[in-house]
Structure 1
Amino acid sequence: MKYIDEFRDGDKARHIARLIHQQVRGGRSYRLMEFCGGHTHAIFRDGLVDLLPQEIELIHGPGCPVCVLPMARLDMAIELAQNPQVILCTYGDMLRVPASGGTSLLKVRAEGGDVRMVYSPLDVLALARDNPERQVVFFAIGFETTTPPTALVLRQADQLGFTNLSIFCNHVLTPAAMHAILSDDGPRHLDGFIGPAHVSTVIGSQAYQVFPEQYKKPVVIAGFEPLDVLQAILLLVRQLNAGRAEVENEFTRAVTPQGNLKARQLMDEVFTLRDRFEWRGLGSLPRSALRVRPELAHLDAEERFTFSAGQSRENKACECPAVLRGLKRPSECPLFGNPCSPENPLGSCMVSSEGACAAYYSYGRNRTQEQRLARG
């Protein structure tokens, strides 16, 4: 663990923080969005917000795949799980996300539905092999980070001739969400992005070049360790002070300009772009998500199963959509902390391990940014 420990060195963190304090200019603000929920948790968990000057405001973005999935898609998964012929598989975070009527996949399982948590999509292949009399559906979800493993399962299932396995695809694309945020930037006026780490290992740093070019906003890709995040903030401050807007890669130990070419090729082989896809908080976005290619329709759950046209009912008091757009902080939601908590989540931002509400509750619910600014 020595290599990781070097990125958690307290003395070095305080040194970078001093450099940030020296670089910021009084009388102006630096409004930076950390797109990824992993960064949000790192910022609160490691106390980074207390090291920053009051001129820097960190805004939490929509980079949590569980959080941005609209309730209508979860209701479709609930419908699959209630089918006695189906074994529904998904990642653990999805089990407790509230669906319409207060139900969830966990509650469906308690009522007899065959819902199984998997750690790897490859587990789904084993389940389909061991249960030839059942239909095994993988509720696939995530940004580009988790898309290649799903693509691998699709390709292997096709090559092995599985007839009882299908994918309910909910993979979404990071650049599309960033476009949506910047296209509607009036309410928040972002100055720059802390770019996601794991996503960037797949799509590469060049995928963000459009944002400095089109919107004049700098992007600095950062890892998830404390020194990564602080260094990214320092690089963003320097760019903004100099009037520059560029893509910089702080996470050079894992991210290359082109990304993972083999993973991208595999994704292109089995997935195609949807014309539009609904996001929680961001609305219907063009070319923002993937679906199984038509030539693999026999492995597409949306082609194999018929879904009812029920109306999904969001909790109107939940501010998760505004939190995902960076318009509100979790503590501004009337449900935050009571009654909504990780033990009793009423919105996806509280239940997800990458959700902003979960980060606020776990690490900072008794200390708001306003209190920090007053201290500063």
Structure 2
Amino acid sequence: MNFIDEYRDKNTILAFKKLIEKELKKPVNIMEICGGHTHSIMKFALPSILPKEINFVHGPGCPVCVMPRTRIDMAIKLASMPSSIFCTLGDLLRVPGSTISLLELRAKGGDVRALYSPLEVLKIAEQNPEKTIIFFAIGFETTTPMSALLLEKVIEKGLKNVFFHINHITVPAPIHAIMNDENVKIDAFLGPSHVSVITGYELYKPIAQKYYTPIAVSGFEPVDIMQSVLNIVRQENAGTYEVYNQYSRAVSAKGNERAQELVKRYFTSCDFEFRGLGMIADSGLKLKDEFASYDAEKVFDCNVQSKNESKACICGSILRGIAKPYDCKVFGKACTPKTPVGSCMVSGEGACAAYYKYSKVN
């Protein structure tokens, strides 16, 4: 088994299609939490394969997409400091701030660098001891251990010119916020796979039980998703609300406990503002007080006055699961990957980017 061909096998996909069509008894709204699932769903045209009663709803699982403009403006302010080298993920560079994006700032001479790995910061810091290195840490539970490891290495090496702007967030809190929104109708979830490798699938049991929603932790390939949809259909028919671990080849019940302990060593929970969802209690992470000397928000002035989002952009509604990219008047017109109006068109995990890349609209 090579974990690719078998999970894209046409006959297997069609076999699941027949079973779903046979067993489906009512419409089911399935929110895929992870933006990677959104791209797979669109790339492999699963909505056209599945019955129309299976409705995929896109969730807040793209970390770049859910960053509010205030956090983007903070990044731009830090990157604009004369002595700074600003380091972060590549997708973030194109998200529009109030007046400029990080990519535009770099074009004007700012030292803004896109990293493949957070550990690249160590070499950059050692090669530029006179510079202030800002690492804009972003992501769900998948990437948080790498930020923790980077901090550990910075401390071990005695580097005094590295500072962290923490924007790490967690999956459960925004899901609770969505399920408590009376405008949202979600019957089941595709649970995130990469996040679940770290957290384990047991993390989602309270969500399934509280909201009576089946959750299928799914891989990214079409066979993975089809198998997960079939499980959800069967749970809907049986009236069960369990967490199904479809991605058992990578996900366990408890997850990566060593990574979890590393995160607990350096981080504690905090409230965090999500684009489209607002401030959510205990949805983010911040550095513990004993590591305040590495915290960019405490060492530098990060206060900003952000402008409101474009009224034409509906990214907030898309991230809340009450709209789809096709509902946006500027989608594929004024808003494209080259000229993004909102964050959902920027990120490689964004719903708008997925629809634009794989649909026939453009």
Q: Tell me the amino acid that sits aligned with residue 161 of structure 1.
A: G
**Separation in 1 of the partners of 2:121 and 2:243?**
38
1:194-343 maps to which residues of 2 (within 5 A)?
Answer: 194-274=190-270, 276-343=271-338
Task: Say whether 1:69 aligns with 2:64.
Answer: no
Q: Tell me the amino acid that sits aligned with residue 252 of structure 2.
A: T
8 A contact 1:91–1:117 mirrored in 2 = yes
**Separation in 2 of the partners of 1:218 and 1:211?**
9
Q: Tell me the amino acid that sits aligned with residue 164 of structure 1.
A: N
Contiguous gaps of at least 5 residues in structure 1: 368-376
Partner SS state of residue 357, structure 1 = helix
Q: Tell me the amino acid that sits aligned with residue 70 of structure 2.
A: A
How has the CA–CA distance of structure 1 residues 271 and 365 changed in structure 2, closer, same or farther, with 3 Å as cutoff?
farther
The residue aligned with 1:165 is: 162
Shift of 1:365: 4.4
Q: Tell me the amino acid that sits aligned with residue 110 of structure 1.
A: A
TM-score for the superposition, normalised by structure 2: 0.98
Partner SS state of residue 91, structure 2 = helix
Q: 2:352 aligns with which of 351, 354, 357?
A: 357
Shift of 1:214: 1.1
**Separation in 1 of the partners of 2:293 and 2:54?**
51
Partner SS state of residue 236, structure 1 = helix
Task: Say whether 1:12 aligns with 2:12.
Answer: yes
The residue aligned with 1:372 is: none
8 A contact 2:178–2:184 mirrored in 1 = no
**Separation in 2 of the partners of 1:3 and 1:309?**
47
Task: Say whether 1:178 aligns with 2:175.
Answer: yes
8 A contact 1:192–1:236 mirrored in 2 = yes
Partner SS state of residue 241, structure 2 = coil
**Separation in 2 of the partners of 1:183 and 1:116?**
39
**Separation in 2 of the partners of 1:326 and 1:365?**
22
Q: Deviations over 1:4-49 (max 9, x none)?
A: 2111111111111111111101xx2111111111000001101111
Q: 1:153 aligns with which of 143, 150, 153?
A: 150
Q: 1:55 aligns with which of 53, 56, 73?
A: 53
**Separation in 1 of the partners of 2:343 and 2:143?**
19
Task: Say whether 1:366 aligns with 2:357.
Answer: no
Q: Deviations over 1:128-158 (max 9, x none)?
A: 1110000101111100111111110011111
8 A contact 1:331–1:365 mirrored in 2 = no
8 A contact 2:73–2:306 mirrored in 1 = no
Partner SS state of residue 65, structure 2 = helix
1:137-152 maps to which residues of 2 (within 5 A)?
Answer: 137-152=134-149
8 A contact 1:33–1:193 mirrored in 2 = yes
Q: Deviations over 1:284-327 (max 9, x none)?
A: 00000001111111111111111233233311210000000111
Q: Tell me the amino acid that sits aligned with residue 46 of structure 1.
A: F
How has the CA–CA distance of structure 1 residues 12 and 209 changed in structure 2, closer, same or farther, with 3 Å as cutoff?
same
**Separation in 2 of the partners of 1:365 and 1:355?**
17
**Separation in 1 of the partners of 2:177 and 2:360?**
29
Shift of 1:236: 0.3
**Separation in 1 of the partners of 2:304 and 2:336?**
31
